[in-house]
Amino acid sequence: MRSVARITPLSGFPEWLPHERLVEQELLGRIRRLAELYGFVPLETRAVEPLEYLTHQGETSKEIYAVRRLADTDTTPSELGLHFDLTVPLARYVQEHRGKLLFPFKRYQIQKVWRGERPQEGRYREFYQADLDVVGDGDLPLHFDAEMPALMHELLGALPLPRATVLVSNRKILDGFGRGLRRDDTTAVIRALDKLDKIGPPAVHDLLCDDAGLDPKEADQWLALAAVRSPDTGFVDEVAALGVADDLLDQGLQELAAVMAASAALPTGSVIADLHIARGLDYYTGTVYESTIAGHADLGSVCSGGRYDDLASSAAGALPGVGISIGVSRLLGRFLGGDMLGASRMTPTCVLVALVADDTRAQSAGIARALRARGIAAEVFHQPLRFGKQIRHADRRGIPYVWFPALDEGAADSVRDLRSGDQVDADATTWTPPRDDLRPRVIAHIDSGPGSGSP
């Protein structure tokens, strides 16, 4: 195979080393297992969508990668693009297969997405998202919104991350508050409130007056609303005290109260009603979710989502949905990069079977086969070097055990634990390592609450 002179990393396209991929795979596996425990079905859509379809979807600021066959002439317009999220493909998939799906359609989807944005720390051009959504045919009870915070709490708790807090609000509260204040278009207001975490209330007050054209008193009211934050349904009274009345506002408060009530069984403080959450630039119409992890506020929301009234308006009726999305690569970038996450070893191999001599290779291969047959990852060293070298090979990879085949007929094999140095007689058809040694484990160096550690 010919090589090219310059082999350099592509900015924004992260690639892990194998032991880091072991960690990524473990995290994706935990998300998958939990999604399935909750009865979400797996879905995978193609990487490409018609370009026309991608560019017509709400948020067009997401930079799209266009795709075309190289064999087509340079002037052939691209007809396809790489998907930039997993919601747009879901909408298309559900429309395309509506007659074959069972509703409410609960699906999870873990795939790479692509965005041609300017690469910067924590922003990738290719990254994993893990999405869980429920889509209804015609209607979708609020119950599904109410279940979501518990799922988010469990999902984030299953990952080896610092303690997570789930934040919930409802778009109808902001919209209804605006209607109560005779303000039909709240876009500029929401845009300003979205900056609260970054620039703080006084600067947002300025924005509300200067950019959104509010008088200082109304700006105060919006800031008071956005400051409401409660671990239970207490926010209802706090908002009422602001003296703004509107039906849509009431509906939003009721919906949010129902969601908070359903989360009451969770540890106090794990789910917070936080009225400054807007997910302003997205297409949500009701409940909205965000979540932050302790000590990493600068990461922003690591798992977000919400309710949309209609995933795809069509003659066959509305497809309402509610869902969440985890930016897996961003999390990994932070925690692998900071050496806060690692794998207990560099390879799945649990046992390296030593090779005594070329003509005893069949003996070593038989031992490895016997171990594998019982689910113990094993490989035979490839050359009959002296044992010291074979042991070093295992040690450099973090392989915990080296197996020494018996040299004489009737003698026993032995196995050495490289960490303790203990060596014991063993039979490949019965020997079993401690459960923790079977597969590489994820090691978390995270000094925080109940979400940390590796289960």
User: Within 31-50, which residues bind a copy of itself (CB under 8 A)?
Assistant: 36-48, 50
From candidates 30, 183, 191, 361, binder to a copy of itself by CB under 8 A: 361
Kindly identify the residues of this chain, within the stretch 200-219, that bind a copy of itself according to CB under 8 A.
Answer: none
Q: Is 104 in the site for a copy of itself (CB under 8 A)?
A: yes
Q: Is 372 in the site for a copy of itself (CB under 8 A)?
A: yes
Instruction: Build a one-symbol-per-residue string for 180-199: x at contacts with a copy of itself by CB under 8 A, - elsewhere.
Output: --------------------
Collapsed DSSP state (helix, strand, coil) of residue 424: strand
Q: What sign for the dihedral angle of Cα 77, 79, 80, 81?
A: positive
Q: Is 9 in the site for a copy of itself (CB under 8 A)?
A: yes
Listed residue (114, 111, 120) closest to 11, CA to CA? 120
**Residue written as tokens 């609000």?**
169
Which ranges of 141-269 does DSSP label H, i.e. alpha helix? 143-158, 171-180, 187-193, 196-210, 216-226, 235-240, 247-262
Contacts of 295 (CB under 8 A, 6+ apart): 162, 448
Name the one range near a copy of itself by CB under 8 A: 104-112, 181-189, 206-214, 296-304: 104-112
CB contact at 8 A, 177 and 251: no
Q: How far is the CB of 3 from a copy of itself (least distance, A)?
A: 4
Instruction: Build a one-symbol-per-residue string for 311-350: x at contacts with a copy of itself by CB under 8 A, - elsewhere.
Output: xxxx-------------------------------xxxx-
Name the one range near a copy of itself by CB under 8 A: 59-67, 215-223, 404-412, 418-426: 59-67
144 or 222, CB closer to a copy of itself?
144
From candidates 100, 182, 217, 435, binder to a copy of itself by CB under 8 A: 100
Q: How far is the CB of 183 from a copy of itself (least distance, A)?
A: 25
CA-derived radius of gyration, the chain = 27
80 or 225, CB closer to a copy of itself?
80
Q: How far is the CB of 79 from a copy of itself (least distance, A)?
A: 9
118-to-13, 99, 244, 379 alpha-carbon distances in Å? 12, 40, 42, 44
From candidates 83, 107, 153, 171, binder to a copy of itself by CB under 8 A: 107
**Angle at the Cα of 327 (from 123 to 323), degrees rounded to 5?**
135
Structure tokens that stand for 368 in this block: 């490895």
Name the one range near a copy of itself by CB under 8 A: 143-151, 272-280, 292-300, 410-418: 143-151
CB contact at 8 A, 31 and 111: no
From candidates 133, 246, 290, 379, binder to a copy of itself by CB under 8 A: 379
119 or 201, CB closer to a copy of itself?
119
From candidates 27, 31, 86, 91, binder to a copy of itself by CB under 8 A: 91
Q: Is 157 in the site for a copy of itself (CB under 8 A)?
A: no
Asked if omega into 104 is within 30° of 0 (cis), the reply is yes
Q: Is 232 in the site for a copy of itself (CB under 8 A)?
A: no
Q: What sign for the dihedral angle of Cα 71, 73, 74, 79?
A: negative
**Angle at the Cα of 241 (from 235 to 243), degrees rounded to 5?**
125
Q: What's CA 185's distance to the chain center, in Å?
A: 33
Number of residues in contact with a copy of itself under rule CB under 8 A: 105
Under DSSP, the state recorded for 326 is E
